[in-house]
Structure 1
Amino acid sequence: MKVLSIISQKGGVGKTTLATALAVEASRAGKKTVLFDLDPQASASFWMDTRKDTTLAITAIPSARLGHVLGAVRGAGCDLAIIDTPPFAKDIAFEAAQQADFVLVPSRPAVLDVMAMTRTLDLVKHYGKPFSAVLTFCPPQGRELDDTMAVIRQLGAEISPVRIGNRIAYSRAQQAGLAAQEIDPDGKAAQEVAELYAYVCMHLYKTDGMGVADEKRAAGGAR
């Protein structure tokens, strides 16, 4: 079983949106997937409450039990666990980073937001975990994207080549208990999620030099 943690000490950067979309993508690819909601606000759990599809498992737990429940689902044959974390909760972020095989650190494309990422990067580096920054709520173009990426590189972080656009499909999907790729399967948001999932799989399963066909195989079935 692999563990993906989505961590940011900054609020409003799309952690739950990414967590739920990637969980749906993994489940659709045939992986036994569970999403652990460590946020006291339980946003992912409320999302699940409005969802009609019951094949995806989402459960809200206190961070102190994370290690135990990960062991339990590993023993039950789970393929992928995704951990959604709250902002401004260092202890919870530490626990999620410690348990992760790979960490996504989302940020809006604004220099001040990225500077707030510093604490999160220090936390992830403390455990020596592989990680990548992913830009969210991105405009189609603009100088802020280049400026943001320059700052992230200065912080010593890898940047995901996949950017998550500022698209209405994400917010509409969240309100309906769906993922963006479910409400608009042929849309740009669906493409972004699929590409980000393939990128995450490359890191989780330690594959290098992958072409498009290899990415699809990793996203669909590699363990």
Structure 2
Amino acid sequence: MHVILIATQKGGAGKSTLAAHFGALADAEGKTLLIDADPQASLSFWYKRRAAETPILVKAAAENLPSTLDAARADGIAWCIVDSPPHNAPLTASLMSRASVTVIPVRPGPFDLDAARATLDMARSLKAPIACIINAAPPITRESETSIVAEARAYLTQIGAPVLPGQVSQRASLSHALITGQAVTEYDPDSRAAGEIAAMWRAVSDLARAFPARS
């Protein structure tokens, strides 16, 4: 079972948005479980509006997460995507120790970059595989990323953060898809938003397959 943990020490970075879209894409590759461990329950909000019966979603409190992961493995789940709560370092560390890859969404701004550094330091101490995604960024213009994205990428590279190529831009179609309980690859499959999300999922899933199972 591949476990994708989406984590950051700051709220509002777009964890739930990535979890919903990655869950729909993972489900095309194998039996997928979404775990909503964030008290804000944004992922559950999306799931209640979803017409499709898959992927599966469960809500789990911190104390139930280990047994939830054990049950998922026993049930033959291929992909498990965890939307973790912010501001809970002990839980994040525990989940990192079981994740195939920890994905850190980073908005291109100083507060998110500082939070990414804290999460990166935690991952290093645990020797946990990690990847940063530049998320909710200004759209690419003339096939070039904006200066604020380039600066964020340079900072992440400088502190040794593995940052994936490309970005997930702030686009209206992402929100429209979530409101209808869909991923943007279902709602508007030929859009730039769908292309960006699909490219990020390919990169994350390839990383997960490259590392030995930890859960």
Q: TM-score if structure 1 supplies the norm length?
A: 0.88
Gaps of 5+ in 1: 208-223
Q: Aligned residue for 1:203?
A: 207
Could you tell me whether the CA contact under 8 Å between 1:10 and 1:87 is conserved in 2?
yes
Task: Among all aligned residue pairs of Structure 1 and Structure 2, give the percentage whose two residues are the same amino acid.
Answer: 32
Structure 1 segments, 4+ long, off by >2 Å, are: none
Number of matched residues?
A: 206
Deviation at 1:167, TM superposition (A): 0.7
1:43-54 pair list within 5 angstroms: 43-54=42-53
Answering whether residue 7 of structure 2 is matched by residue 7 of structure 1, we say yes
Q: Tell me the secondary structure at the aligned position of residue 136 of structure 2.
A: coil
Take 2:206 and 2:146, find their aligned partners in 1: how far apart are those partners? 29
Answering whether residue 109 of structure 2 is matched by residue 105 of structure 1, we say no
Deviation at 1:92, TM superposition (A): 2.5
Q: Aligned residue for 1:16?
A: 16
Q: Tell me the secondary structure at the aligned position of residue 205 of structure 1.
A: helix
Answering whether residue 151 of structure 2 is matched by residue 152 of structure 1, we say no
Take 2:11 and 2:40, find their aligned partners in 1: how far apart are those partners? 12
Structure 2 residue corresponding to 1:187, chosen from 175, 187, 191:
191
Answering whether residue 177 of structure 2 is matched by residue 178 of structure 1, we say no
Gaps of 5+ in 2: none
Take 1:18 and 1:116, find their aligned partners in 2: how far apart are those partners? 17
Take 2:179 and 2:90, find their aligned partners in 1: how far apart are those partners? 29
Could you tell me whether the CA contact under 8 Å between 1:38 and 1:92 is conserved in 2?
no
Of stretches 52-61 and 87-96 in structure 1, the one that deviates more from structure 2 is 87-96
Deviation at 1:22, TM superposition (A): 0.4
Take 2:56 and 2:111, find their aligned partners in 1: how far apart are those partners? 35
Which amino acid is the alignment partner of residue 108 of structure 2?
P
1:20-169 pair list within 5 angstroms: 20-29=20-29, 31-139=30-138, 140=140, 141-169=145-173
Q: TM-score if structure 2 supplies the norm length?
A: 0.91
Deviations 1:27-80 (A, max 9, x none): 123x10001111011111121111111121011101222121111111111101
Take 2:109 and 2:147, find their aligned partners in 1: how far apart are those partners? 10
Question: Considering only aligned residues, what root-mean-square deviation do their CA atoms show, in Å?
Answer: 1.4
Deviation at 1:111, TM superposition (A): 3.2
